[in-house]
Structure 1
Amino acid sequence: MTCSPTAPTSRTWKPVHANNLSRRKKIMNYSFNPPSAGREPRILWVDLTREAGTALVDAIDGAFDVYRVRKLPQVPDAIQIYSPLILCFEFDTPDSAGIEALTRTRRVHPSLPTLMITGCHSEAVAICALRLRVWDLLVKPVSIEALNHQIAALTIVTRQRGSESASEILFPSQGTEDLSALDGHKQQARTFPAIALVAAQFDRKIALEYAAALCRLSASQFCRIFKQEYGVSFGQYLLRYRIDRACERLANSGALAKEVAYSVGFNDHSYFTRAFKRQVGLCPSEYRGAQDSPND
């Protein structure tokens, strides 16, 4: 399957020749047309969505220094010329061409922190993200707040660590066994595969043993380390993640609360209602009503 890019805009990458530096800079500034030369962080966004106006980059455009690429062959030159702090690949459904381009990019630029955004929930996508060692896998619908949080966290980590790449922070050597030798960021790599699993499969049953196996830990080790890293148990994290996704869907769709419950992984509507009220303070119908009411 091949992507069908939409017509380029003023913020879309245009090919430039690298044989003349001054000419390259001139064309780069014209082609990207950034809203603010000093805005941070610099993000290169590989937009592989098929319909105009559906990409998340459209929602954050102007909030960050974002340059968009729509054609895969342009990605290497864009990275060389723009030197982004963060790279993002956004898919509707990942296809072979997009995954191959992401794989090549990770191989050539392993220290470039990369976000992967997809509209497809599948184990294959989650495993792909794990193998490519992306910073995070986000599954649409994704709130702008969640996306901004990821970008801000990634920016802070990369700047604080300096020469140490985000990939090294998240994915320490597989042979490292001594947790006491790892700093806080590196410890997070031990259970990151479980976080990616939740993002990809929160709408399905997720066994703790399976999450532990993805992290190459026993169930007891996984429970202990996950609690150390995130301050909550894996079950609590999964519950909160599902409730957060339910809040987004209640606020942004006309689906019934029961339908929302099933769509985020709850098989028991009564339990969903109780869990939602414990976390949010309102039952689902009250929450939707509050979102629909105009602010005073």
Structure 2
Amino acid sequence: MGPRIPETGSFEAVETYLLRGAMMSASPNLLPNLLWIDFLVKREKLDLPLSLPKSFAVQPVRWPFDLCHVMKSTAPWAACFDFDTPTRKGLEVLERVRSRFQSLPVVMLTTSKSKIHQRWAVQQQIWDYIQKPCTVKTVCDSLRPLHAEPSVNVVGTTAQPKLSSPEFNKLSPAVAYLRANYPDKIPLAKAADMCDLSPFQFSRIFKKVNGITFQDYVVQLRIRRAAELMKQRRSSVTDAAFEVGFNDLSYFARMFRKQIGMCPSRYRADTGPSQIALFPQLERAELQDSATSVARKS
């Protein structure tokens, strides 16, 4: 049963309650409030949230409700939006939550396999997008990294996980593996598993940290290595393409032109030193990786 809805209040007034709730959730003696928002069109028992372990204080609410009142009465540490197929109204409410309470982590559960919904979730910076049917373990695995965060997720503040060295360190196992095995086919799901993240979480964090998607990062890394082979070892265009993992020469040529600005044969024929600033995202990632390695050794 959902919490009692108090009288109407403003969003500004709510933030005081949310701050208090987040501070209480950070106490080792109190459980974090997990707001479970039911937007299911087909009426059914909420077995999934009720099956979550006792480490969460689940607060289920069902649409329709007053969003401001719910936030005030539950002071959530995180929120799960539970859909079958997302409705327009449900997505509007979720977007409003993400816009107004930017530090509140939101998990979206849905039966929808629509790429449009997944892209929308990325744009809204949803913490995770879980396709149903799913298990309790899937939900717990999604929430576990948030529960492990040392900082308190206070709604209305900037306590959302920051794009700093902790975020980069979370990705470092996959990035290190990729740099050593870039010619091989590396599925995104495998890279995410190396970092103990879901594919959706991994994709979202990866793009935020590096400024490009995981797939674009792989292509850029391969193109840069191919450019180095042609310049430093004078490898042929064909040899360079196959060595870095491209099996289609026409695709390699298109990607090379897109990234470098000229075709690979022209780039190789230019015997002068390259003046092209290649891939600042890769350079930044490598500098961060080097700094992290030095810090671990010291």
TM-score by length of 2: 0.48
Higher RCO (CA-CA < 8 Å; seq separation 6+): 2
TM-score by length of 1: 0.49
